Chains A and B, each alone.
Chain A
Amino acid sequence: MSSSSRFEPKIVGFICKWCTSAAADLAGVSRLKYQPNVVSLRVMCSSRVDPEHILQAFKGGADGVLVGGCHPGDCHYQVGNYQTRKRIMMLLEILKDMGISPTRLRLEWISASEGAKFQDTMNEFINTIRELGPLGLKVK
């Protein structure tokens, strides 16, 4: 599957405990295979994800960042994901100004029952970033 010359993007995932991390677990239990380029960090809610964390990931060498939360209306904390959406929308604008393609930042709603969606999202996002190529921002 892997050819040594192929670009392997590095992607950071911020996933909420209640939905997207549970979906990732379900994908695991169902043995739904996907490419291993995303390493995720589990937060309580997507609303804990600070745009600064995302920028820091890009600056630290990430080629893509994925934020995963519960579907609108389903956030464990009622409205957390609405705040996430606002913040990500704002950040997408800022990314453009910084010359970072907004495609490199993805916000997805994946519920605890959507193991297959988690798998698909992973593969699809990884392929997209692979096609875009390295971001090459790494400072230090």
Chain B
Amino acid sequence: MSAKKPSKRIGVFICHCGGNISSVIDVEKLAQAIGKLPGVALSTTYQYVCSAPGQDLIREKVKEHNLDAYIVAACSHTLHETTFRTLGKETGLNPYQVEIANIREQDSWVHDDPQKATSKAVRIIRSVIEKLRLNEDLLPIEVPVTKKVLIVGAGIAGIQAALDIANAGYKVTLLEKRASIGGHMAQISKTFPTLDCSQCIMTPRMVEVSHHKNIELLTYSEVEDVAGYVGNFKVKIKKNPIYIDPEKCTLCDKCVEVCPVEVDSEHDRGIKKRKAIYIPFPQAVPATYTLDVHSCLGLLPIACGECVKVCEPQAIDYDMEPQFIEDTFGAIIVSTGYELYPVLNLEEYGADQIPDVVDGMQFERLLYLDSSTGCGIKRPSDGKVPGEVVFVQCAGSRDPELHNAYCSRICCMYTSKQAMLYKSAFPEGKSYIFYIDIRSGGKGYEEFVQRAREEHDVTYLRGKVSKIFQEDGKVVVWGADTLTGEKVEIKADLVVLATTMVPSPGTKDLANKLKLNVDEHGFTQEAHPKLRPVESLSAGVFMAGCAQSPRDIPDTVSSASGAASKVMAMISGDVLEREPIIARVDEDICSGCKMCISVCPYDAREYNSDKNIVEVNSAKCEACGSCVVTCPSGATQQLNFADTQIKEMVRAILSDKESSE
């Protein structure tokens, strides 16, 4: 009942959302109830308020009713808040005189009872009206944009985005955790559905990245810390030591010859070994050795020191320290890719204890080694060329009880490809594919699968494999053919598991640093699944490729180019606008107690000793509102989230007027 409420003329536009709202909420009754509230000059409904005629309606009504402010009661803020605020500006209102009331996601979509849902909508809208009454006109805060982009992860997604942005003339820092860029695509033998060699299309791009004048490449590096915000992220990068000076190294390979340590090669996924000092693969970029400190016997001459002894140009430096690089970026793209679900987790398929049960990527390496050396596809246990190969799709996928609920999306296609390549290399061989459904919805994909069936004589068995075990040098596969209803037993020489794509292990940690949401599986969460598929809800952070969800190469490249174009649109202007709903201090009330300084995560509260008050640095304030709660005198308020507003909102939610069921 505060007497001095500014008497704004408020309009309320209630959206039917083509039945999404109006099939549950009685929008006409709602409009009537809202229309009776003081200050509401207009309360009306429309089929689709966000459509062009819907927006025209708002334009018209703002004029006709001389509105000072309006509410759109419709879908979530994340969808159309910007749309309607921009529209508000066009109609001559301050954009902060426009608010959204979410009566779809948080009402009509989650409640069945029309009466109750309608009554809840009244409460929701009424509370937003109370907020809007006290909203101040605000101007967006303009911040300068750093025209430089950080891309984390240099597989095909990161490489594509980096090249797109760099070719447009912007600076890019491309960061990769591993010793070489290239990611998984550099491991693959041939790609579906064209069967062109993956290396042949990948390597030139890797080289292009390394020579590009606008791209700074940081391999063997990680993001340590991120501060700042869209337009100006302050990022601390840790470049791990490779213990080699590439300037001095002549790539003579003597160090590799003498290194006594052998470990599984990551690039060959354990199919081959590498030394502790190594080049990940012949086409690696940068083409330099890395000394892997985790497998090295010790960075001490007494521990081993063999490599140092033979290195004539003295390029090996055991004392190399990690380097820390601090830089500012306008935007960040996360392209950290995927890993495969560990076979170890698949108890029923031998839990990684059977040497001749490999995963899809290991089979890629077998295929690659055969095609590049002509050595034949050799199975790991004894090097024999397998005469019978069984491919198991959905290994760990589409299995909500035990493993991952989702579909890994690429396995139907790549097992067809692998079976085809195996048959081409070894025509006498027999190949079987166990599948649940064949999902071949891409350009030329269905035809490709048909070719595998018809021209390459691959046997498709519809059903799930229940057990895989070893017996007399064979790998026995038990399954069921659900089409014939019969049990199937195959004594195979090699089994290939098409294991699920899961987010790469560092994704969650990086997401935390970037305040980027991840979904229940750990993949990055897009701002909107349809309309903002490469943006995140954290302004200035974008995503590309399999960090977001399983996908194939064409889709990865499309998303990378999509992210690149979004980033370029963002950094092409000189300034960015930030939401001005920051903290403000009333200098007459503030006593300079400094309580707020201790709770501010951004050092945005600064003590002014001349005035004995604590000011707000508007460039730093991120608008969380915590200092408002801490302020003992009420001197600090958050703009448009003032205590008075929240109080009125609570009151409006609880009031029973006009919301009786």
Please determine whether B105 and A61 come into contact, CB atoms closer than 8 angstroms: no
A96 within 8 A of B: no
Within 8 A of A (CB), among B615-646: 622-626, 628-630, 638, 641, 643, 646
Verify A1–B113 contact, CB threshold 8 A.
yes
Contacts known (A48-B624, A56-B647, A114-B520); A78 close to B601, Cβ less than 8 A: yes
Asked if B570 is at the interface of the complex by the 8 Å CB criterion, the answer is: no
- Chain A nearest Cβ from B294, distance in angstroms: 27
B632 to A: closest C-beta gap in Å: 12
Name the A residues within 8 Å of B78 (CB-CB): 22, 25
Contacting pair A28 B650 (CB below 8 A): no
Bound-state CA distance A42–B384 (Å) is: 64
Task: Give chain B nearest CB distance to A54 CB in angstroms.
Answer: 9
- B105 near A44 with CB under 8 A, answer no
Contacts A10-B654, A36-B113, A62-B654 known; A41 to B127 CB distance under 8 Å?
yes
CB contact list, A37-72 vs B, under 8 A: 39-45, 47-53, 56-57, 60-62
CA distance A77 to B107 in the complex (A): 28
B643-A50 in contact (CB<8A): yes
Instruction: Check A60–B650 contact: CB distance below 8 A.
Output: yes
Q: Which of B76, B599, B647 interacts with A28 by CB under 8 Å?
A: B76
Which applies to chain A's interface (DSSP): helix, strand, loop or mixed? loop
Check if B403 is an interface residue, CB within 8 A of chain A.
no
A20–B651 alpha-carbon span in the complex (Å): 22
State A60–B124 Cα separation when bound (angstroms). Answer: 16
Query: Which of B116, B512, B581 interacts with A36 by CB under 8 Å?
Result: B116
Within the complex, which residue of A34, A39, A43, A49 is in contact with B123, where a contact is CB–CB below 8 Å? A39
The answer to whether B650 and A12 have CB atoms under 8 Å apart is: yes
CA distance A39 to B120 in the complex (A): 7
Complex contact B107–A36 (CB within 8 A): yes
User: Once the chains are docked, how many angstroms separate the CA of A21 from the CA of B601?
Assistant: 22
Interface size on A, residues (CB 8 A): 53
A112 in the interface, Cβ–Cβ < 8 Å? Answer: yes
Check if A79 sits within 8 Å of B110, measured CB to CB.
Answer: no
Interface residue? B230 (CB, 8 A): no
Within A1-22, the residues touching B (CB, 8 Å) are: 1-2, 10, 12, 17-19, 21-22
Q: Is B109 an interface residue (CB 8 A)?
A: yes
Q: Which among A28, A73, A74 is the interface contact of B106 at CB below 8 angstroms? A: A28
Quick one: closest A residue to B520, CB to CB? A113
Residues of B within 8 A of A112 (CB): 517, 525, 537
Q: Are A50 and B109 in contact (CB under 8 A)?
A: no
Contact residues on B (Cβ < 8 Å of other chain), bracket: 35 or more
A124 to chain B, nearest CB (A): 15
Please give, as numbers and ranges, the residues of chain A lying within 8 Å of B629 by CB-CB distance. 47-51, 83, 87
Cβ–Cβ contact B650 & A36, under 8 A: no
Write out the residue numbers on chain A whose beta carbons fall within 8 Å of the beta carbon of B622: 77
Whether the Cβ atoms of B110 and A2 lie closer than 8 Å is no
Cα of A138 to Cα of B487 in the assembled complex, Å: 69
> For A44, what are the chain B residues with a Cβ–Cβ distance below 8 Å?
581, 623-625, 638, 641
The reply to whether the CB of B538 lies closer than 8 angstroms to some CB of chain A is yes
Considering only residues 59-105 of chain A, those with a C-beta below 8 Å from chain B are 60-62, 73-74, 76-80, 83, 87
How many angstroms between the C-alpha atoms of A27 and B76 in the bound complex? 12
Chain B residue with Cβ nearest A57: B650
- Min Cβ gap B529→A in Å is 8
Enumerate chain A residues within 8 angstroms of B77, measured Cβ to Cβ: 17, 21, 42
Residues of A within 8 A of B625 (CB): 43-45, 47-48
- CB-CB nearest in chain B for A71: B512
- A24/B654 contact (C-beta < 8 A), A2-B113, A31-B110, A33-B112 known: no
Q: Does B515 contact A (CB under 8 A)?
A: yes
Q: Is B104 an interface residue (CB 8 A)?
A: yes
Query: Using Cβ atoms and an 8 Å threshold, which residues of chain B touch A49?
Result: 629
Beta-carbon contact of A28 and B104 below 8 Å: yes
Whether B525 pairs with A41 at a CB distance below 8 angstroms is no
Complex CA distance for A1 and B628, rounded to whole angstroms: 42
- Pair B654/A60 contact, Cβ less than 8 Å: yes
Question: In chain B, residues 518-561, which have Cβ atoms closer than 8 Å to a Cβ of chain A?
Answer: 518-520, 525, 537-538
Known: A22-B517, A57-B650, A112-B517. A31 touches B599 (CB 8 A): no
> Least Cβ distance of A137 to chain B in Å?
11
Contact A32 B123 (CB under 8 A): no
Are A39 and B110 closer than 8 Å at their CB atoms? no
Chain A: which residue is nearest B643 at the CB level? A50
Expressed in whole angstroms, the Cα–Cα distance for A48 and B111 within the complex equals 28
Contacts of B642-661 to chain A: CB distance below 8 A: 643, 646-647, 649-651, 653-654
Complex CA–CA separation, A48 to B622 (angstroms): 12
Of all chain B residues, the one with the shortest Cβ separation from A28 is B105
* Cβ contacts under 8 Å, B41 to chain A: none
How far apart are the CA atoms of A44 and B651 in the complex, in Å? Answer: 19
When chains A and B are docked, how far (Å) is the Cα of A44 from the Cα of B643? Answer: 13
Judged by a CB distance under 8 angstroms, whether B117 is at the interface is yes
A2 to B113, CA, bound (A): 9
Q: Which of chain B's residues have a CB closer than 8 A to the CB of A2?
A: 113, 116
Closest Cβ of chain B to A121, distance in Å, is: 13
Report yes or no: B120 in contact with A36, Cβ–Cβ below 8 A: yes
**Chain A hits for B647, CB < 8 A:** 53, 56
Q: Are A41 and B649 also in contact (CB < 8 A) when A2-B116, A76-B515, A114-B520 are?
A: yes
Shortest beta-carbon contacts, A-B, top 7: A28-B105, A48-B625, A47-B626, A77-B624, A28-B109, A45-B624, A25-B105
Residue pairs across A and B with Cβ atoms less than 8 A apart, 25 shown, are A1-B112, A10-B654, A12-B653, A18-B515, A27-B105, A28-B105, A36-B116, A36-B119, A36-B120, A39-B127, A44-B581, A44-B623, A47-B624, A48-B626, A48-B638, A49-B629, A56-B647, A60-B654, A76-B515, A76-B538, A77-B601, A77-B624, A80-B601, A80-B626, A83-B626
